[in-house]
Amino acid sequence: MADTMKSLLAALRAAADPTRLRLLALCDGSELTVSELVGIVGQSQPRVSRHLRILVDAGLLERFQEGAFVFHRLAGADPGAAAARRLVAMAPRNDETLTADADRLAAVKAHRARIASAYFSRNAGQWDRLRTLYVDERHIESVVGDLLGGVTGGDLLDIGTGTGRMLEVLAPRFRRAHGIDLSREMLAVARSNLERAQLDNCSVRHADMYRLPFGEASFDAVTIHQVLHFAENPGSVITEAARVLRPGGTLLVVDFAPHDLENLRSEHAHRRLGFDVSEVDAWCGSSGLQVEDVVHLPGKTLTVTVWKASRPAAQSRSAA
C-alpha cells in the first residue's frame, strides 16, 4: 500500500472519535495548551493527553513545548495538513457540542488577550519613547515589503518576533509564517495579536535565535527586525538565519545605524549601538549570502538601516 494511502487511513482512524474531532476543531487556527484544552472539553488531563498523542502520531496535530507548557495546533505540513483541514471542514459547525467548545475557546482567547494587554501596558511607555527617536514604523514596514518584492507563497521566519508585528504585516504573502522569541511574555502578546488578526497561517514558539529549531533550507524569507542590537554575537545570528534559508531565499535585517545614545544600553538593554554597513555586509558574506540592497531611513535622532541579502539559487548548502 502506498505511503500516502497509509497516512490517509491513519488520519481517518485517529479522527474517528468525538473527542478527537473536537480537539481538531479547537486547534484549527489556534495554539492551545493541554490545560486549556482540558478546560474546554471538560475531560481529565490524562484522557485529553492520550487523545492528543493519537492525533499527533497520525500527523493531524503538531506539538511543541514552551517551558512548562505544551502547545498543539493543526498540522502545517503535508499530507497531515490537508487531511486535518478537510476533516475539520466536514465537522458540522451548528453542532451543540462544537458550538459550546467555540464559546469556551473564545473565553480562553479573551483571557490571554487581557494578560497580553496588561504586559504591553506595563512596558509600552519606554517603547513609545524609543519610537519617537526614529522613522515611523509604518514606513519601515513599507520598505521591508518593497524589498521582498515578488516573494510570495513560500515560508517565512521572523527571528525575535516580539509582538508579532512583522508576521502581521508579511504573513498574507506567505503560505506559512513562523515567529520565534525567547520572551514568553512577548509570545503571549504575539499570539493574541495574530489571533485577533485571524492569521491562521502563523505560528510562534519559544526558541533561541542562535539555535533555531528548524532544518537547513527551511524558509524562503527570514526577517530579523530590531533584534541584532540585543545580541551578544550578531554575526552568529545571521549565520544561523542563513542556515535555514533556501537557495534563492531572502534575508532582511532591520536595525539602527551607528549612534551614541548610551542610555539605550542601560534603559533598553541594547548591547550594540547600531551597526556599520560594512559590518553586516561581512557577516552576510561569511554566511554565504550576497547583499543586494541597503536602505537608510533617517529619523529624528536615529537612522534605521535595512539590509537585503540572498542565498544564491545555485549555491550548495555546504558552501556556507
Tens digits of per-residue pLDDT, 99-135?
A: 999 999 989 888 877 775 675 566 656 666 777 788 8
* pLDDT tens digits, one per residue of 259-287: 988 888 777 778 888 999 999 999 999 99
- Is it true that the peptide bond before 79 is cis, omega within 30 degrees of 0? yes
pLDDT at residue 123, rounded to an integer: 67
Question: What's the per-residue H, E or C state across 153-167?
Answer: CCEEEEECCCCCHHH
Per-residue pLDDT band at 159 (split at 50, 70, 90):
very high
Percent of the chain with pLDDT over 70: 90
Contact 143, 170 (CB under 8 A): no
Q: Give the Cβ contact number of residue 79 at 10 Å.
A: 14
**Chain mean position to CA 181:** 8
Distance CA(109)–CA(271), nearest Å, equals 35
Instruction: Give the gyration radius of the chain's Cα atoms.
Output: 21
More confident position, 7 or 40: 40
> How many Å apart are CA 212 and CA 307, to the nearest integer?
21
In the predicted structure, residue 247 carries a pLDDT above the cut 90: yes
At a CB cut-off of 8 Å and minimum separation 6, what does 130 contact?
264, 268
The more confidently predicted of residues 50 and 65 is: 50
Cell of residue 234, nine digits: 550578531
- DSSP conformation class of 208: B
The number of CA neighbours under 13 Å toward the Cβ of 229 is 22
pLDDT single digits (tens) 191-223: 989 988 999 899 999 999 999 999 999 999 999
Cα–Cα distance between 13 and 26 in angstroms, integer? 19
Q: What's the pLDDT at 79?
A: 66
Of 18-22, 59-63, 88-92, which one has max mean pLDDT?
A: 18-22
pLDDT recorded at residue 318: 44
Confidence at residue 316, expressed as pLDDT on a 0 to 100 scale: 45
pLDDT of residue 307: 97
Reported as a pLDDT band with limits 50, 70 and 90, residue 319 is very low
CB 74 within 8 A of CB 28: yes
- Looking at the chain, the whole-number percentage of residues with pLDDT higher than 90 is 53
User: What is the pLDDT at residue 317?
Assistant: 46
Model confidence pLDDT, tens digit, residues 290-316? 999 999 999 989 999 999 999 998 654
Q: Which domains does the chain have, with CATH numbers?
A: 3-105 (1.10.10.10), 133-319 (3.40.50.150)
Of the two residues 264 and 77, the one the predictor is more confident about is 264
Kindly compute the dihedral angle of the four CA atoms of residues 170, 172, 177, 181, in this order, to the nearest 10 degrees: 40
**Mean pLDDT score, 158-180:** 94
Pairing of strands 219-225, 245-256: parallel
pLDDT at 99: 92
